Amino acid sequence: MATTYAFKNVVGAFTDPDAGSFPFTGQEGVKHLSISNATERGVIDVAADGSQMVSYVSGAGGAIDIEVQQTSSLHQFLVVWANIKFTESDAGNAANFAAAAIKIVDLLSGAMHTLTGVFPTKIPDKPYGPSGASVTWRLMAANVVTQ
């Protein structure tokens, strides 16, 4: 039996105590989502004599890359959110800098990703040209859970 995938069946929500929430679907001007884990959870150390030591490394940090059309409502929301975070932190109030959370669900497969401790690294570069383009947001997360 073949499995089916449709980006329109990928839904999500972005929540932050300062900026509010933004529910989104594959139709919100989002072109691409990519969730990555940063921590290599297992490593092998090899000594000069060839003996090996396997170690488990704790941590579940990662990132999400969100490619959106430059005129999308999600991009506009993220600009406001990032500016709130940078302004508050520059003023000495960084308590909520990484307070955002993102949940992404593929309704067809049931796959779910929950990112917490989400923060902006920078506002993405903005293209200008004869036609509209996309921008990519790179958001870091202290914890990435994939189910």
Q: Give the residues across from 141 on adjacent strands.
A: 62, 118
> What mean pLDDT, rounded, does the chain reach?
93
Give residue 2's pLDDT: 74
Give me the CATH topology for the region 9-146.
Pnp Oxidase; Chain A (2.30.110)
The angle formed by the CA atoms of residues 138, 142 and 146, to the nearest 5 degrees, is: 85
In this prediction the pTM is 0.88
Residue ranges covered by each domain of the chain: 9-146
Which residues 6+ apart lie within 8 Å of 142 measured at CB?
61, 98, 116, 117, 118
**Tens-place pLDDT, residues 36-91:** 999 888 999 999 999 999 999 999 999 999 999 999 999 999 999 999 999 999 99
pLDDT above 70 (res 26): no
The answer to whether the CB of 15 falls within 8 A of the CB of 100 is: yes
**Tens-place pLDDT, residues 94-117:** 999 999 999 999 999 999 999 999
Least confident of 9-13, 23-27, 37-41, 56-60: 23-27
